[in-house]
Amino acid sequence: MDLADCYVKVRKRTEDICSPLQTEDYVVQPVVDVSPPKWHIGHVTWFFETFILKPYFMGYQEYNPDYNYVFNSYYETVGNRVIRTDRGNLSRPTVAEIYAYRKYVDEAMNGFLCNEPSAEVKELIILGFNHEEQHQELLYTDIKYILGHNPLFPAYSNSYVSPKVNWVEDGEFIKLNEGVYEVGFKGEGFCFDNELNPHKVYLNAFEISPNLVTNAEYLEFINSGGYHDFRHWHAEGWDWVKTNKVEAPLYWHNIDEQWHAYTYHGLQPLNLKEPVCHISYFEAYAYAAWRGLRLATEFEWEAAAPQFSWGKSWEWTESSYLPYPGFTKAPGAIGEYNGKFMVNQKVLRGASEVTSPGHSRITYRNFFQTNLRWQFTGIRLAK
């Protein structure tokens, strides 16, 4: 598939994700971590306009100079921007105007891609594809938060199908010997800069579960008083539980002594066989401690991943998000993509059920702050 076809495919998937929405759904921002869907579709369009069309397509006319201020996310190099907390206050541009902007840029990109771009520009375009795929996952998770916090718990789409879990019946932990393992991306194809450079790490012998922790298993933690026993928690996690009065994973609701969970089909009885999801690192750590076990490091996870099924939910690790040896930031705005966030965050490995097809790989390093749980995040135990 050539670049032009890839561009069309990636852009269409974003619009397909948004197709079940009503106009009003596009504009809501319930919390700072959730962006309105219309901002996402504008931002990923701005990315191609700003980094491809404006510098490399001779004669290109910028759609609206104000959009750089509206749709810039965090790129200091590119200029001022609407602060993240104010994205939900943008009643204008309208949803229709943003789709018109998207169409304008798509037509320009189709013209630009009629000719073979240079290797440097091709690399930027492929980064743009992967950037949009990241926002496709964010769209799914942000839409779920928006609708899941509507008092009516409306369904996103009754045609949504959650992928099945490959479950290992005996659940026997996978054993890996001590030794030197190589981690990091190598070979052909795309990767983000935080996956470079491949290097060797020494690991002690360890064991890791072939299965993710299920809702039924996590419910045992809740019923045992896990959210009310400080012994299982980091001090910061215990403060988070008390301050926010956390009693269960995000989207769980105890109705008439029965647990329910909000899903893309609306509010449903809790499926006890499904992996527990939408939990913070604090909760993942506390559950592991309650079980007398632990979370794997990101390097243990990568070494063991070929031996188990992954991809249902992002998996918290015990690793802080730090640069690999020899990591360098690219010059200019592109260098702000990952490196500036390498502080006060934990690494998650794998992928989730809403990760775009072809976007996941064993070396992928996702990262979030320890208190966040609106993403599809779960637990795999190690010892």
HSE-CB at 211 with a 13 A cutoff on CA atoms is: 17
Please state, rounded to an integer, the average pLDDT across all residues of the chain: 95
Q: Where are the beta strands (DSSP E) in the chain?
A: 174-176, 179-183, 199-203, 206-208, 252-255, 258-263, 266-269, 294-295, 314-320, 346-349, 366-368, 377-378, 381-382
Sheet containing strand 266-269, strands side by side: 252-255, 258-263, 266-269
- % of residues, the chain, pLDDT over 90: 89
Would you list the domain boundaries of the chain? 3-148, 174-382
Average pLDDT over residues 211-230: 98
Number of residues in the chain: 383
Strand-pairing partners, residue 22, are none
Pull the structure tokens for residue 189: 């194809």
* Whole-number pLDDT of residue 78: 63
Confidence band (pLDDT; 50, 70, 90) for 91? confident
Q: How far is CA 96 from the centre of its chain?
A: 27
Average pLDDT over residues 224-242: 98
DSSP letters, 40-67, are: HHHHHHHHHIIIIIHHHSTTPPPS-TTH
Architecture in CATH of 174-382: Alpha-Beta Complex (3.90)
Provide the CATH topology of domain 3-148. Answer: Four Helix Bundle (Hemerythrin (Met), subunit A) (1.20.120)
* Whole-number pLDDT of residue 163: 92
Are 3-148 and 174-382 equal in CATH topology? Answer: no
